[in-house]
Amino acid sequence: EVQLVESGGGLVQPGGSLRLSCAASGFTFSDYYMDWVRQTPGKGLEWVARVRNKGNGYTTAYAASVKGRFTISRDDPKNSLYLQMSSLKTEDTAVYFCARDGGSYRHDYWGQGTLVTVSS
């Protein structure tokens, strides 16, 4: 059974840093592109970042709103995805989901989400 489990969310002050993790199981993690998607309370979904697989050079892409502040990475032997967030702003407050790009242009599995609150 495919599972994605996020952790690392919490309360952080503006300007602070936080590292989110996503533990993957039930599939060959190294084969897939992985993404972070966030959802602000009561609002819609916003794609945050992507890391491609080894075959595609582990290249990354970011939303303009987080570029230069967030870093996505992966550790294939540990079946883990990460999001290092720095210079956090109040508008980064959201539930952060990790999601698998299952091929055929879709996110076919999602984690349960982890809440990040940026507030003083």
Partner 1 sequence: DIQLTQSPSFLSASIGDRVTITCRASQGINSYLAWYQQKPGKAPKVLIYTASTLQSGVPSRFSGSGSGTEFTLTITSLQPEDFATYYCQQLNSVPITFGQGTRLEIK
Chain position carrying tokens 């190294």: 30
The least distance separating partner 1 from the CB of residue 30, rounded to whole angstroms, comes to: 20
Q: Does 101 bind partner 1 (CB under 8 A)?
A: yes
Does 34 bind partner 1 (CB under 8 A)? Our answer is: no
Pick 46 or 76: Cβ nearer partner 1: 46
Q: Closest approach of Cβ 63 to partner 1, in Å?
A: 5
Q: Is 69 in the site for partner 1 (CB under 8 A)?
A: no
Site for partner 1 contains 64 (CB under 8 A): yes
Q: Nearest approach, Cβ of 1 to partner 1 (angstroms)?
A: 13
Query: What does the H/E/C string look like for the chain?
Result: CCEEEEECCEEECCCCCEEEEEEEECCCHHHCEEEEEEECCCCCEEEEEEECCHHHCCCEEECCCCCCCEEEEEEHHHCEEEEEECCCCHHHCEEEEEEEECCCCCEEEECCCEEEEECC
Which of 9-17, 23-31, 40-48, 84-92 is the region at the interface with partner 1 (rule: CB under 8 A)? 40-48
Contact (CB, 8 A) for 93 and 76 = no
Interacting residues toward partner 1 by CB under 8 A = 35, 44-47, 50, 61-64, 97, 99, 101, 104-108, 110-113
